């Protein structure tokens, strides 16, 4: 319903509700004046005149209300103009088959850029399940440090809730004699977790006690179990094991912390990541 129709209805309603009572009040005031001037005198005539004047003013106000409603409704209705009629354009003529065949195909629509997603997780049977592509590169680079002639090994650490573990080969039978000659009473291993967001390898050292029985070592965590970061300290007699690789490559080990950490740190740095030692808390 438009404003003009609403204004007409409002005018009719106010005319019935206000206009008719207003006319009645004016008529009542006129009759009161006529009757008072004929039959009354003095103060009674004065009171009648005042009452008639009040009725007349009130009636005039009531009559004025529907007039004002009609005026503003009519004025608002004239302000609205109907929208011009717009003819519908004729459809484009159909394209001939020859023109359609020669027209170049429109390029495919380019989808809007989507929200970046986390790196795709890569899983392999070799212990890399759950690693993203960047972490897999670092994982493989550290694992490539393994070789039969080295006195240490790097293994997958999923069973210990970490990604990698680096440790001396002291519990392998083929290495018993080497480590026994060093008379080691303590060794340590490194637990590592890969952080692809910060491009960090978070590492924590664990110190273990070595017990020798009939030339066979046994590792255990003692009451003063250490977890944090070890400095380059040897836990033995200074016996040196020499590892001969390609010509010109000779490694001498005294089984201290730096000899295990250094190749790992170099491998991490070669991938553009950072090796971060964690001294307290969990990885």
The string of pLDDT tens digits covering residues 95-123 is 555 544 555 555 555 555 544 444 444 44
Quote the pTM value. 0.50
For the chain, residues with pLDDT lower than 70 are 1-3, 19, 36-45, 74-129, 215, 219-239
**pLDDT at site 115:** 47
Give buried/exposed letters for 44-60 (b at 16+ CB in 10 A, else e): eeeebbeebeebbebbe
Residue 34, SS3?
Answer: helix
HSE-CB for 112 with a 13 A CA cutoff: 2
**pLDDT at site 124:** 44
Q: Is the dihedral of CA 53, 56, 59, 65 positive or negative?
A: negative
Q: Which two tokens stand for residue 173?
A: 């039978």
The string of pLDDT tens digits covering residues 6-15 is 777 777 877 7
The string of pLDDT tens digits covering residues 174-205 is 888 888 887 778 888 899 999 999 999 999 99
CB atoms within 10 A of CB 27: 13
Per-domain boundaries in the chain: 3-79, 128-277
**pLDDT at site 167:** 93
43-79 and 20-39 helices cross at what angle (nearest 10)?
Answer: 160
Residue 145, SS3?
Answer: coil
CB atoms within 10 A of CB 241: 17
């Amino acid at each position: 319903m438009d404003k003009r129709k609403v204004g007409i209805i409002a005018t009719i309603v106010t005319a019935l509700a206000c206009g008719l009572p207003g006319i009645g009040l004016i008529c009542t005031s006129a009759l009161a004046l006529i009757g008072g001037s004929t039959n009354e005198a003095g103060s009674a005539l004065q009171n009648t005149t005042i009452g008639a004047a009040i009725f007349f003013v009130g009636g005039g106000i009531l009559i004025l209300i529907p007039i004002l409603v009609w005026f503003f409704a009519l004025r608002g209705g004239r302000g609205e103009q109907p929208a011009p009629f717009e003819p519908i354009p004729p459809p484009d003529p159909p394209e001939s088959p020859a023109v359609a065949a020669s027209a170049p195909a429109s390029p495919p629509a380019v989808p809007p850029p989507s929200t970046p997603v986390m790196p795709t997780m890569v899983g392999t049977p070799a212990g890399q399940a759950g690693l993203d592509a960047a972490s897999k590169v670092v994982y493989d680079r550290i694992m490539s440090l393994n070789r039969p002639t080295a006195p240490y090994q790097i293994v997958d650490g999923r069973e210990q809730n970490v990604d990698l573990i680096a440790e001396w080969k002291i519990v392998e039978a083929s290495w018993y004699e080497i480590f026994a000659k060093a008379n080691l009473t303590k060794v340590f291993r490194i637990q590592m977790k890969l952080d692809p967001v910060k491009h960090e390898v978070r590492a924590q050292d664990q110190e273990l006690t070595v017990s020798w029985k009939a030339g066979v070592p046994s590792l255990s965590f003692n009451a003063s179990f250490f977890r944090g970061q070890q400095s380059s300290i040897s836990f033995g007699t200074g016996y040196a094991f020499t590892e001969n690789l390609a010509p010109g490559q000779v490694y001498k080990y005294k089984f201290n912390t730096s000899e295990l950490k250094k190749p790992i740190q170099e491998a991490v740095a070669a991938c553009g990541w950072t090796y971060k030692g964690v001294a307290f808390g969990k990885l």
